[in-house]
A and B are shown apart, each in its own frame.
Chain A
Amino acid sequence: MKHIIVFLEPKDEHSLKRTSYEAITAARQTGAQITGFAVSGTETALKSAAEYGLQNVVVAQHPLLHQYSSTAVSEALSQFASSVQADTIVISANATGKEIAPRISIKLQAGFIPDCNELSNDSAMRPVYAGKAKVHVKSNTPITVYSLRPNVFTAKSHPSAGITIGSFTPNLDESHAKVKVISVLKNEGHLDVSEADIIVSGGRGLKGPEHFTLIENLAGTLGAAVGASRAVVDAGWRPHGEQVGQTGKTVSPSLYIACGISGAVQHLAGMSSSKFILAINKDKDAPIFKVADYGIVGDVFEVLPVLNQKLKALLGK
């Protein structure tokens, strides 16, 4: 690894997505030269990357990049990487990265190492079989594309002396933009499990959709997202967007609170890489306790109100 291109995505006018800062941190720790690459973003948002040690950002400029197209972005990034002879591309394995990273690997005839949770100067570690095993993977090609599991690499402040923003004009035509995003429907008013630092999830132990107010109240106290097990999503108690697990979302929050969730393998597959896990279940033999840092063996209907009250007291709410 000599020269890494890190793909940067703006979150709003002032900042980049947390996953972009995570990617910068992971790249910086390899000791290689780093260049940020973006296709959009305000100067303020791009310059915010300096806080994490980035010194150079290049923004691709082209009319075909005004409306997001995964194919056009992949082409632009690949052309830029070739133009500066970069040997490494680092992209978050979020929804955007899952579309562009494999494409870029084909364009650059590069090895693709997806969903890494450790990155070193010449290889990476990644979870496989839903986290039941991990593999050490090396690339056999001169160029390598790595995608990073979100929320695993903690973005560390390391201010750079300054940051310069340059531009790059890719050579694109309509054939590079055969798929386009025409609109984005945001889940207004509530935090998504894939973006949350704390998740409070409920399972069948809640006994009915009306009792999810217990989960919502606790999530409200903690500023957390509400999650759900497959059983309650299949039963129609909660929307699919909240499902954590194999057929739902894979999450790695700082704290995952599992309430009335027994811990089926499919659920563990989606949350076992959480940094800390608190489980509340009345069955002391429930598998969820085997992966938990903290456990309360008890009835969720009795435990959750007490837990919420204690947390409120601690947080001064």
Chain B
Amino acid sequence: MNILVCISQVPDTTTKVQVASDGISIDKTGVKFILNPYDEFALEEGLQLREKFGGTVTALTVGGDTCKEILRTALAMGADKAILIKDEHKNDSYSVAFQISEIAKTMNPDLLVLGRQSIDYDSFAMAPMLAELLGLPSISMVSSLTIDGNLIKAERDIEGGKEVLESSLPCVISAQKGLNNPRYPKLPDIMKAKSKPIEEIPSLSTHARISTMAMQLPISKRIGKISGDSESEISDIVLALHEEAKVI
């Protein structure tokens, strides 16, 4: 089974966000970048399927040179091959999906695995977009997956429960927490990954279909009434929920 795992580099969760001087993106000064947390589940699933069925796992990302770091993490976890599509701009989800789809067409993978969302723009768009561009079925937010021959059976979280779905290979899935427990790369593998080749592919020009006009920090509109735990103070809070917030 040939598996393509698409990953992305994102600011660490604890990053304090500041708007850059261009007014439409975040100031990257001092920001620590990490492998998107959901992509760890995607990589782990790819590796476990390879261990079961044989084949190869290729990790691919779209971005600048700094993204080589997450490709090295993927190689250290056990990916066979790493590809960087060099595009510093990553205009919108469509332009990223389009570039990945063009490379994927040359590889004919049996399965494409992604994280359910990247934690920067939180769009949840990549798996269905990529699948549509490739003419493939897709299942988003997969929390359980079994593959038998060409048949895929998956569970995914929906509001108030789970859906059980069937599809067939080739297919695109996006991984949710609970799918597996991602492995930690071992130190010797981390060292070895440093000298493994990363294939670089120049950016394919695309037109962004959406544009960010402005980025702002949200203004907190919280009431901020913090009190003690005496019975009368608790009564006041209950009254405020009823009369001021009108939520009960």
* CB atoms of A294 and B159 under 8 A apart: no
The answer on a CB contact under 8 Å between B171 and A99 is no
Q: Give Cα A252 to B24, complex, Å.
A: 25
Q: B200 within 8 Å of A by Cβ? A: no
B11 closest partner in A (C-beta) = A129
**A185 touching B162 by the CB < 8 A rule?**
yes
**A110 to B209 Cα, complex, angstroms:** 7
Q: Are A311 and B238 in contact (CB under 8 A)?
A: yes
A293 and B245 in contact (CB under 8 A), knowing A99-B138, A139-B209, A246-B37?
yes
CB-CB nearest in chain A for B228? A297
Distance of B151 from chain A, by nearest CB (Å): 11
**B51 surroundings in chain A (CB, below 8 A):** none
How many positions in chain A have a CB within 8 Å of any CB in the partner chain?
Answer: 91
Q: Does A111 contact B (CB under 8 A)?
A: yes
User: Does B189 belong to the interface (CB within 8 Å)?
Assistant: no
Bound Cα distance from A187 to B163, whole angstroms: 11
Do A254 and B247 have beta carbons less than 8 Å apart? yes
| 0 or 1 for each of B113-134: is its CB under 8 Å from A? (1 = yes) | 0000001111111111101110
Task: Please tell me which one of the listed residues A71, A107, A144, A293 contacts residue B225 in the complex, with CB atoms under 8 A apart.
Answer: A293
CB <8 Å contact, B226 and A186: no
Max count, chain A CB within 10 A of own CB: residue among B143, B161, B216: B161
- Tell yes or no: B241 within 8 A of A by CB: yes
Q: For the complex, is B195 an interface residue (Cβ under 8 Å from A)? A: no
Main secondary structure of the interface of B (DSSP, over half): mixed
Q: B158 within 8 Å of A by Cβ?
A: yes
**In the complex, chain B residues whose CB is within 8 Å of the CB of A180:** 165-167
- For the residues of A in contact with B, the DSSP-based class is mixed
Please list the residues of chain A having a beta carbon within 8 angstroms of any beta carbon in chain B: 70-71, 74, 93-96, 98-103, 105-107, 109-115, 123, 127-141, 144, 150, 178-187, 191-192, 194-195, 198, 222, 240-241, 243, 246-248, 254-255, 265-266, 269, 275-278, 284, 289, 291-299, 302-303, 306-307, 310-311, 314-315
Chain B positions within 8 Å of A, measured between CB atoms, are 11, 13-17, 19, 24, 26, 37-38, 92-94, 97, 119-129, 131-133, 136-141, 143, 155-168, 171, 177-178, 207-218, 220, 222-229, 231, 233-235, 237-238, 240-242, 245, 247-248
* 27 A-B pairs whose Cβ atoms sit less than 8 Å apart in the complex: A94-B158, A96-B158, A98-B124, A101-B125, A105-B125, A106-B133, A114-B122, A128-B121, A130-B13, A140-B210, A178-B171, A180-B166, A184-B161, A184-B163, A185-B162, A194-B160, A247-B38, A265-B13, A275-B245, A276-B247, A291-B222, A294-B227, A295-B226, A297-B229, A307-B237, A307-B238, A315-B248
